[in-house]
Amino acid sequence: MNIFSQKLKIFFLILIIFNTLLSAYWLINGDIHYDVDVSRDFLVMEDIIENNHFTLLGPRSGAIPGIFHGPLWFYINLPAFFLGKGDPLIVGWFWFCLSVFFLLLVFWVTKKLFDTEVAFLSTLLLSANSIINPSIGLKNFYNPYGAVFLTPLFFWLFHRYINSLKAKYLIFSLFTLGFIIQFQMAFGIPILIALTVFLGYLLFIKRKLIHFLSYLILLIPISTFILFDIKHDWLQYKALIRFLSQNSSSGNILNIFQDRIRVLFFDFFDFLSPGKNILTIFQAIFFLVVLIIGIKSNNNPKRKVYILFSIIFFGFWVVSLFYQGGTGNYFWPLLPLAVIVFCSFYRVLKARIFLGVFCLLYLVNVYAGISAIMDFETDVDRRGPHSWAFNLYVAKKIYADAKVDFGYFNFSPDRYAYQQRYAMSYAKKYSPNLNSFSFVKKPLTYLVEVDPPKDRPDLNGTSWRISDVGIDRLPDQIFRFDFIQVEKYFLNNEEIKIEPNAYLLDKAFLR
């Protein structure tokens, strides 16, 4: 049943534009979500531009110690970072443009897979779902977003291959998957494993085993990993072997399976239906039941799409059973595919049933987005640790107080202090007549210390100040900015002569 009129499509388009503008609310207010990952990326790009330190490595992998993602996310952001002279807000507007192009890509892919009506529904729901992307840590603009962006394109290319068995589509899809691995290995590699098993069966029965040569295209997107290991005595390869040998035990498979079920129903579908409540479980059950109905229906012309989605979707979860650790948000790139498939249920169910569930899900996502906007603090000094505007505000206050050249040291409980370090570096632009020296003692020296978690007061900066910085006395002045304490010291020559720890985490430790 087709209830879509031209006026309804125009109305949907207006809603899509409205939702997209809502996602720019934080940018319009001069802020971006600025966590450890984002600030680290800015420090790396600053190093690339200022020191020509082009890197073959991306961010560290949270799944396997000693393994890193590819550097592609850095280089995609680098032009905006360079043109904006390091301004995170300019990079933020680049992310906004990426999110607009992403919605256009989803519309195009969905139209190719299904039809215009399903494309409008998918883009509308995803635009509402994306309102909060700039404001929270799990769905945010850092390297996994590249995998999210490319997954719909990869799916469409692989679907074309399944339907046509033309090797060029397999080559293009694997090429795209290689770049997905660059962005998020913990998603791309399980998908590659699952599809390889499926392709082994398909190419055997179709007598097309020669198509496995298409895998050679992967050498291009994964070349950065290979080149790095060749230059560094196979460092990542050894880390992988060490991880596999130390984690060869299968562990309690029942516990891992139970964890994956919980993650699937609560964490993944929480991305689709925010709240982790009874509605989240309802949407999960609804989705899986209708998916099975769509697969079993021989009259469904898009049955192959559902089967391929199931292979990718459940293949990821099956492969993840062999990893004992948590899945984090590794499943995030599956979200746009789930949205597309969910909206295609419009062609499987009666219109009234589908539109009722769709409207409920749409309103839940809009509510989550507007709630995040309403929770946004208008006062910069109350925006918290993951606000660029707040961290810049603190840095500017230090420069304004200094009046003369100064040295400074940054501390956070995780010892990285990326957020404060980049803010201090960028704030130089507002005080061109002052010279500041990171991790160097000067007659005027500031210690910028982030408070420890309330349940771990032992993670304060006292031992760091005494042992690493080499200052064993109370500060001459203290400034408080919410969770940040700035200590001001006027050091004498004897105090300056006490060398700081040469291995303090500075720009050489950016991962």
Q: How many CB atoms lie within 10 A of CB 428?
A: 14
- Reading across the β-sheet that carries 477-481, which strands appear in turn? 436-438, 406-411, 444-450, 484-490, 477-481
The pLDDT mean for the chain works out to: 93
Name the DSSP class of 421: H
Q: Residue 143, SS3?
A: coil
Instruction: Report strand pairing: 436-438 vs 484-490.
Output: unpaired
Rounded Cα gap, residues 344 and 472, in angstroms: 65
Mean pLDDT of 116-132: 96
Sign of CA dihedral 202, 206, 209, 215: negative
Residues 6+ apart with CB under 8 A from 126: 103, 106, 336, 339
Alpha carbon distances (Å) from 387 to 212, 380, 454: 47, 8, 20
Residue type, 426: Y
What is the SS3 assignment for 427?
A: helix
**pLDDT reported for residue 390:** 97
Q: According to the model, what pLDDT value does residue 249 have?
A: 55
- 3-state SS, residue 425: helix
Over the stretch 331-365, which tens digit does the pLDDT of each residue have? Answer: 999 999 999 999 999 999 998 999 999 999 999 99
User: What is the rounded CA–CA span in Å between residue 490 and residue 245?
Assistant: 52
Strands 477-481 and 436-438: unpaired
Q: How many CB atoms lie within 10 A of CB 357?
A: 18
202-206, 220-224, 273-277: which has the minimum mean pLDDT?
A: 273-277
Q: 506 pLDDT exceeds 70? A: no
Give per-residue pLDDT as tens, 387-420: 999 999 999 999 999 999 999 999 999 888 999 9
Enter the DSSP assignment of 410.
Answer: E
Q: Is 65 helix (H, G, I), strand (E, B) or coil?
A: coil
Query: pLDDT band at 508, cuts 50/70/90?
Result: very low
In the predicted model, what is the mean pLDDT of residues 279-286? Answer: 94
β-sheet bridge partners, residue 83: none
Q: How far apart are CA 106 and CA 147, in angstroms?
A: 13
The candidate with the shortest Cα–Cα distance to 17, out of 140, 127, 141, is 127
pLDDT 10s digits, 295-313:
998 888 899 999 999 999 9
Structure tokens of 207?
């007598």
| Residue linked to tokens 């209708």 | 290
pLDDT in tens, 427-469: 999 999 999 999 999 999 999 999 999 889 888 999 999 999 9
Residue carrying the six token digits 């890509």: 105
Give 324's DSSP letter.
-
For the range 15-20, what are the long-range contacts, defined as Cβ-Cβ under 8 Å and sequence gap of 24 or more?
Answer: 15/124, 15/127, 15/128, 16/103, 16/123, 16/124, 16/127, 19/124, 19/127, 19/128, 19/130, 19/131, 19/366, 19/369, 20/99, 20/100, 20/103, 20/127, 20/130
pLDDT in tens, 131-177: 998 877 678 899 999 999 999 999 999 999 999 999 999 999 999 99
* Nearest-angstrom CA–CA distance, 181 and 70: 8
Which residues contact residue 88 at a Cβ distance below 8 angstroms, ignoring those fewer than 6 apart? 32, 34, 38, 42, 388, 426
Q: Pull the structure tokens for residue 20.
A: 């997209």
324 versus 162: the higher-pLDDT residue is 162
Residue type, 344: S
pLDDT computed for residue 250 by the predictor: 55
Interval 183-202 mean pLDDT: 96
Q: Are 69 and 58 in contact (CB under 8 A)?
A: yes
Nearest to 488 by CA among 500, 474, 498: 474
pLDDT, one tens digit per residue, over 213-272 is 999 999 999 999 999 999 989 999 898 898 888 765 556 788 888 888 988 888 899 999
- Answer for the pair 38, 140: CB distance below 8 angstroms, yes or no: yes
Assess contact for 335 and 273: CB atoms under 8 A. no
- CB-based contact 450:384 (threshold 8 Å): no
Q: What are the backbone angles phi and psi of residue 436, rounded to the nearest 5°?
A: -120, 150
The string of pLDDT tens digits covering residues 58-89 is: 988 877 888 999 999 999 999 999 999 999 99
Comparing CA positions, the residue from 38, 262, 222, 252 lying closest to residue 142 is 38
3 state SS of 400: helix
Cβ atoms of 442 and 394 within 8 Å: the answer is no
- Per residue in 8-57, pLDDT (tens digit) is 999 999 999 999 999 999 999 999 999 999 999 999 999 999 998 899 99
DSSP 3-state of 250: coil
